[in-house]
Structure 1
Amino acid sequence: MEAAEATNLAIIARQPIVDAQRAVYGYELFDRTTASDHHTAASDAALLFNALSNAGTEALVGKKTVFINCTHESLAGGHLELVHPEKVVLEVPPLAGEASAEDIEGRVATLQALRQRGFRLAFDQQVLRRPYASWLPLASFVKLDMQAFKPELAAPLVQFARAHSQATLVAEKVETAEQFQRMADLGVTLFQGFWFARPVLVQTTIARPSQAITIQLINLVRKQASTAEIEELLKRDPALSFNLLRYINSSGFGLSCEVTSFRHAVMILGLKKLFRWAALLLTTSRAGGPPPVVGTTAVVRGRLMELLAAELLPPEECDNAFVVGVFSLLDVMLGMPLEKALESVALPDSVTEALLHGKGVFAPFLELTKACESGDEETFARLAQELHLTNRQVNWAHLQALTWAESLDEAAA
């Protein structure tokens, strides 16, 4: 676990929830990034945020339903505004200790509000007890812990749950064929437990943005800055823009189309959700990662490509040129092959063609940009001629890109 803390790894365990034919219905997720088993509102937020943003939902759970354990504190957290309700089931625990009827009733309004927003709620078998009668109609799932009751109580519990709720029943902690068969014979349709599969650790590399830039983003949003100002800030930190595109295109966000530009992402997300996202990004990020010079080089590449593209391509292509330059060093920033890094973010074909295959409209701009870095005069001259750019145009753009990057470093200091 200490190694995970020292790197950019998020470690999330997932355990499948299956039907009687063992087809996967969904996955319950558990945070394994830190050594602490302490379950808090902050850890809930971090788990959900990493699962749906940093970790890349497609790699973690695909299109399946996500089950997330919650504390009652986290149920009121703003991080839930960043989630498409149809994708997530919130597992709600009973109140600790011998909770009073007043305390139990006091939670109903919060649970009802979550249901009205479209979230499905899952409870354990404690919700079948008399004190929790007001919670039971709100249940979309009731999870029956096979280790928590005697075999002869299975039928009465199932019958009671069916009589007093519309919930789908899940037999959890199923460890033997006999337990599975007993619950299947009672009509239970979903199962979870070691007999089917143990939790599997999924490690994913996270791009850590500059905390200073993230704070600036939060401040811009609080001041209700323009979309153009926010877009300009996003261009300062490759990891920040990478995470935003990956998050907004994750299945957890629930869009039906892919978002490939920063401006489009900001407009769709809106200031309120952008603030929540940036705040969570700040609180869940950790130290470590590549040296700052890598990010600076990536930003210079992006700005130089943007300026060069502006000389020859339509305005709408300049943003894509910037993305090519910035993301051309993702393999270094994430410590993985570029092809694998790009799997978790939606990009136009013209961008991926340039990045992965050195082909397409942006490829010569990227090659020219790299030649500017390396001082390869022969390649520089050849590509400038191919693009019908003068040495003066390229050198002036490079100087502007370097100056722009330096000004961003000063602003972030």
Structure 2
Amino acid sequence: MSFNTADQHTSGAVAGTPSGAPSGATQDRADSVEVYFARLPLLDRDGMLCAYETLPRIVAREGEPADSHTPADPANAANAVQGLTLAPPSQAAVLVEAFTRPALRAALTGHPAWIDVTREMLFDDALLRLPADRVTFELPIDVGADPEVIARIVKLHGKRFRFALDNVTKADESFAKLLPYVDAIKIDIRDIAATMLPKFASVLKAAGKLLVALGVENKDDYERVHALGFDRFQGYYFTKPHGGARRASASRQALLNLLQLLASEPTVMQLEAELKLNPVLVMHLMRLANSSSFAPGRKVTTLREAINATGTNRIARWTQLLLYADGRKISLEDDPMLQLAATRARFMEMAAAVLPEAGPTEEDSAFLVGVFSFVDAVFGGPIEGALEVLRLAKPIRAAILRREGVLGQLLNASEALERGDWSAVDAACEHLAPLDAGAVSALALQAAEWAGMAERDAQAQGLVQVEE
């Protein structure tokens, strides 16, 4: 992945972010640039989350007044940047400052980050401020293989930094010179000849390199590169139906029964009886009730206390999300499907709350649009049939199937951000005023933190896992 560096601010400065929307950018001391982030998951051979590639957008501001929302004239962008009283900071310094802020760290949910660096950034000592054990630097294939570059990589290796060579498609002289000094090789399987890939993979594995497959978008892609020994996988193949339903951590029918009961305003006794039929859901509910997000002031020890502490609305939401949970006993924060669904649903809800025309009903609908936009991966078959099974309201189905209305536009914005497609984010935001790309990015980071919070908090408090 490469940086998307804009010459001008696109749709609202940090200081001019709409009221009610969080800032989506990090400002340097001269207020000359902003940084927006998206995340792209990396999965290991077991299909679990193991890292995130951070996809930054570095945007040069043009010195507009703090309360201005009007994009500046593109023709004046360069002059405006050159006319700053203070020299703009280096790209590396801006990125490092943004990366070390709490919002992005929290959104990584404890996973390491892979970060793109240019040749210029490689030689900037600002990179030394990053924790070497939590980052991997991705080098573009055209970074060069001259003695200066190699010496710099060796020096940073000495400080325990790791490197990946990005978008490799052939074994040329430059690649051969860099190969001994990088730890991982990223190969876009869409850009390399299918006949060449097995031999390439075999040689690189023999050289002890970590192999990362890019552009893995369906089951066939995944099975092919998995069989070739690839170690990491990027792409959204895991959100697609895989010849049937995704394994659930609890009986899907039991979860659907519980959702139907929750829709009928049940008593605590009724909920308790239904939940006792589902030990896995009880385990997650106890963790949720004891997390700092819902801390009632003392440790919850019984199922009835957990129901009262959490509330039926939150139980319903986590029941919906657990439809996506993997059948293996793994941490929820390592489950890529559940994390993606939870992040998208929470983002949709928070973004709807910023829109002037939205109310509590629209916020709830936005959450449902987000959480059920992948439901075909759970049930298998066409998504239309899965939505019918859930008996969702027509506006929710219309937003998911046809991208109708503001909920459909929010879903477009979420999907674009998940791909790091900033042009598509801008296009979606044209219909979502006062939201802009910066606010959308910030909301998504907050949503990602929320998605992983209950599990982390519960583990930190030493809760005992309930076995099936």
TM class by shorter-chain length?
0.3 to 0.5
Higher relative contact order (CA 8 A, sep 6+): 2
Q: Write 1 or 2 for the structure with the bigger share of helix.
A: 1
Q: Which structure has the greater CA radius of gyration?
A: 1
Alignment TM-score, normalising by the size of structure 1? 0.42
